[in-house]
Amino acid sequence: MPFISRGIRRSIDKISMYFLAIIIAHGFDLLYLSEGRLILSFAISSVIISTEMLSVYENISRKTGTGLAELFKKILGSGKP
């Protein structure tokens, strides 16, 4: 798959926005939740992780033509892919 500058630009923008969201949430946690609990930054990070995991799952499913869930069921059920 060739590098596409538009795709790289979108990835860098997305990483920058994720980093900014986590930094702002961490600052909010330190400023308003000074008890040492990282509530908001943990929630923001969890949303980012779940979004990216779903994106990776969809991309793999699209490229392979099969869902990973079905593939794992086949592997676990028969012992062969």
Q: What is the DSSP letter of 38?
A: -
Residue pLDDT tens, the chain, 81 long: 566 788 788 889 999 999 999 999 888 888 887 666 668 888 899 999 999 988 888 888 888 877 777 777 777 776 555
Nearest to 43 by CA among 55, 61, 25, 57: 25
Tokens linked to 78: 């028969």
Query: Radius of gyration (Cα) for the chain, nearest Å?
Result: 18
pTM comes to: 0.67
Q: Which of 41, 6, 9 is nearest to 25 (CA)?
A: 41
pLDDT given at position 24: 92
Which pLDDT belongs to residue 81? 54
Neighbouring C-beta atoms of residue 41, cutoff 10 Å: 20
Residue 49 has a pLDDT of 93
